[in-house]
A = this chain, B = another copy of it.
């Protein structure tokens, strides 16, 4: 009897499979499923309510200001590049610092949408953009300024005093306000992509992109990559199901020394992912298809076939930023 039932189930299953393969994927039903997991990007970033055009312009200048590094050669933009359509990163595994021979320890994350992240840095050691901005300027393997005072002096020497006064009031050229202005500028960096148009009702996805979105959801990638950013709202263990290849960097544990934080990293956002290679905290791979397969294997214990992987990559391309960055200050 059991055997008979299972045979019958097998026939039904076979029919279902052939039907699904032949039928075209329906935008509306996949969109309905997607809305359980994703939302379009908000139009403004938290904290931007009080940002003025002047503060943002000052922040933009500072973002590109090489005087903020000890050698006068690096700005925020050196590692988080907004020019050349690079997706807010420098596309190298880890980034060289200003002092000769220094090298960062983790892959430079993108500045686009960063202000939406639930915490900053791969390990969450800063709460917001302002806290983040204060880090690299003083980090000896990044911009390597010897102190906050030295950074303030350099910016004063570069002639910013009057502009700070205009934005923040008299005698306001402080380290805190340098970071605040940079953060204000960064709060304007919101991507725009085809996926949000799809979520809002446009039938702009190809069959392969629909298949990729469906595979992304059906394979539970959404457990970590959900919400408006497809990630960047939680930590997760790198190598949950199978140890991550590189165990040297223990993630959040390096900052907290709390055993629960071992190998825990911020789950990155997938917005604009096609432009932010190499992938993972150590820049392990430059290939997005390989990154997808590694995540499936190490996080979900799944072996994705080539076709499914390709369709997920096709879906991820719909997250590519179509908003070009253009400097508004010289």
Contacts and interface: CB of A to CB of B under 8 A. Distances in A.
A255 to B, nearest CB: 11
A258 B3 contact: no
Contacts of A6: 7, 10-11, 13-14
Given A46-B256, A223-B223, A118 B261 contact: yes
Q: Count this chain's copies in the assembly.
A: 2
Interface of A: 2-3, 6-7, 9-11, 13-14, 36-37, 39, 42, 46, 116-118, 220, 222-223, 226-229, 232-237, 240-242, 252, 256-262, 264
A197 B3 CA distance: 42
Contacts of A227: 237, 259-260, 262
Contacts of A42: 259
21 contacts: A3-B7, A3-B10, A3-B11, A6-B11, A6-B14, A36-B241, A116-B259, A116-B260, A118-B252, A118-B261, A118-B264, A223-B223, A226-B237, A226-B240, A227-B237, A227-B259, A228-B260, A229-B260, A233-B264, A234-B234, A234-B264
Contact of A257 (B10, B11, B46, B233): B46
Contact of A117 (B252, B260, B264): B260
A102 B240 CA distance: 42
Contacts of A11: 3, 6
Contacts of A229: 260
A6 B6 CA distance: 8
A78 B227 CA distance: 37
Contacts of A223: 223, 240
Contacts of A39: 259
A54 to B, nearest CB: 24
